[in-house]
Amino acid sequence: MSALFESITLREVTIPNRVWMPPMCQYSAAPEGPLTGAPGDWHLAHYGARATGGTGLIVMEATAVAPEGRISPYDLGLWNDTQVEAFRRITGFLSAQGTVPGVQLAHAGRKASTDRTWKGGAPLGPEAGGWQPVAPSAVPFDERHPVPAELTVEQIREVVGRFAAAARRALAAGFEVVEIHGAHGYLINEFLSPHSNHRTDAYGGSYENRSRFALEVVDAVREVWPEDKPVFFRISATDWLKDGGWTTEDTVRFAHDLHAHGVDLLDVSTGGNASGVTIPTGPGYQVPFAARVKAESPLRVAAVGLITEAGQAEKIVTNGEADAVLLGRELLRNPSWARHAARELGGEIRVPDPYHRSV
């Protein structure tokens, strides 16, 4: 029996295999009008194809908890009930294929208000449909980005409430897993790292203060999310800075805190909070970070980052380096990667009845 195709149960949610799809922004939502931030036909076809292809869990792309928390005007959101109705169509289809639907709740912080990536991803001003980004400190991401407005304590509390409200809507929309986005240089990651957090109040300075906002978000989400459903947290395990940034040691320490606050799995990525850094990429280059968290904390972990081959993914799970693998670009290239891998590894996987000829 292939380890990659064994089910895994988190709380009372059983995911049929360990081949998971990570959040990958599609920048394809309506930027304005009554359906702003709502998923449409593109999202149904995109996620539906990966579900019929056998993916065990699909974590839908970064979904903003507030309009100003979007990476771009074309991002998804869960700040109103119209969006909830649009998501239901997709979660219903994924569930019908045996795929567990998940969603990543996010706030882009100082990296908000940018154009779509295939158009260069440059910051957008108000004249181009953009807005003023916010952050823990008035420190821009790089020379291209504007100086963000520093959040007040009252505004921080409002954002925490926005995460809770979005989690309630995620439940109403039919999601079984909710993931809190604390990676890639977005708002929660900005608070965690001393590279971007220069505050001198209760939300800055020490590790305990810098992690306060993240844990308040976790607590607020966990309070409204059912006890029988899991909460994930996505982390950038390192800023890839020699000094002055978030480190792997911080991540291991934080994993213990997350576990104590009711998080069930850490989705381990890296980078995104510091510009101009050199990241030594290669096949499975982020897996060692996931393996360390798994070895040194009580949390379940998922690994991501240039995992492309069935044997490679099987080895990661079999060796205990991670409990699951997240395939990004490879699932963009091949929506049926899971079915192909099952055939190669001798694993069992559900095949939709209309595709019976492919067995």
What is the DSSP annotation of 189-242? HHHH-TTT----STTSSSHHHHTHHHHHHHHHHHHHS-TTS-EEEEEES----S
Q: Determine, yes or no, domain membership for 320.
A: yes
pLDDT tens column, 148-183? 999 999 999 999 999 999 999 999 999 999 999 999
pLDDT of 29: 97
Which band of pLDDT confidence, cut at 50, 70 and 90, is reported for residue 124? very high
DSSP per residue, 53-107: TT-SEEEEEEEESSGGG-SSTT-EE-SSHHHHHHHHHHHHHHHHTTPEEEEEEE-
Assess if residue 358 is contained within a domain: no
Is pLDDT of 38 > 90?
yes
Structural domain contains residue 154: yes
The predicted model gives 122-137 an average pLDDT of 96
Buried b / exposed e over 272-283, threshold 16 CB at 10 Å, is bbbeeeeeeeee
- Can 186 be counted among the known catalytic residues? yes
Residue-wise pLDDT for 267-297, tens only, equals: 999 999 999 999 999 999 999 999 999 999 9
With respect to residue 235, please indicate whether it lies within any of the assigned structural domains. Answer: yes
Within a domain: 336? yes
> What pLDDT score does 356 carry?
87
CATH code at position 226: 3.20.20.70
Question: For residue 158, how far is the Cα from the chain centroid?
Answer: 21
193 lies in some domain = yes
Reported as a single tens digit per residue, the pLDDT across 174-192 is 999 999 999 999 999 999 9
Q: State how beta strands 149-150 and 177-182 pair.
A: unpaired
Amino acid making up residue 230: P
DSSP bridge partners of 9: 14
The pLDDT score that the predictor gives to residue 359 is 80
Using CA of residue 251, residue 110, residue 168, residue 39, what is the dihedral sign? negative
- Cα distance between residue 289 and residue 106, in whole Å: 22
What's the number of domains the chain is made of?
Answer: 1
> Whole domain around residue 237: which residue ranges?
3-350
Identify the pLDDT of residue 358. Answer: 84
Per the residue annotation, which of 47, 74, 186, 203 is the catalytic one?
186
Does the residue 229 lie in any domain? yes
Residue 294 lies in a domain: yes
pLDDT digit string, tens, across residues 95-114: 999 999 999 999 999 999 99
How far apart CA 217 and CA 195 sit, in angstroms, is: 21
Q: How far apart are CA 304 and CA 18, in angstroms?
A: 12
